[in-house]
Amino acid sequence: MKIEILFEDDYIIIVNKPNNVLIHNSYYARNIKDDTLLDLLEKQLNHSFYPIHRLDRKTSGVLALAKKKEDVAVFQQLFNSNTIQKTYLGIVRGFAKESQLIDSPVKNPDTKVYKDAETICNCLFSVELPIAVHPYKNSRYSLVELKPTTGRMHQLRIHMNKISHPLVGDYKYGDRFHNRMFETEFNCHNLFLHAQSLSFTHPKSYKTITITAKLPKDWKTIFEKFKWNFKV
């Protein structure tokens, strides 16, 4: 598997992470034996990298990594100080509101302590299909733009479940009937959550950097089926 490189300089590399690829080995994914993103990048570029932030294994999209371990903290400060803009796209069950703020706390899986979490959700497109999904005769979906201002584990997946618009393809927090329909009707088996862009001021060069990652091919299939005029 070749990883798409979106940006590179002397300090960092930004890539388009595929669905279903772990960034690195962890206790939570101890049963997964496939190559991690770090493994794949080291084979591809003959260089070790250090993650600056994280994406869930099933989430695709923009991911930044440092070339030197000592630079990780410098770039992480952008996330800690909320001076970096992160934009995600998701396909969810139901008709989402045009715009809303979700500010439900999210539980840390290690400490079991709830922490404040905030996500801005904007609906871009909606559709109703004549395809029955239990318990209804028709099914409804929305394409949403998600902008988290905090970075809790599984935050977006939990928040969309909280407002009754779970992400399609999410088998932990989602709706299994709609997940199954996407698999049988459209042959789409991945989580529909994509880190579309990052925008920040580079702490070394002081340049404004904006990086956008193309969507996986499943999204093009769905946009064509749903007649959503959105550039993949």
| Active-site residue set | 56
Residue type, 67: K
Residue type, 53: H
d(CA 155, CA 105): 9
d(CA 232, CA 217): 8
Checking DSSP bridges between strand 60-66 and strand 50-51, what pairing results, if any? antiparallel
Q: Which letter, b or e, does each residue of 207-218 get, where b requires 16 or more Cβ atoms within 10 Å of its Cβ?
A: eebebebbbbeb
d(CA 183, CA 190): 9
Which secondary-structure segment (H or E) carries 16?
strand 12-17
Cβ count within 10 A of residue 35? 14
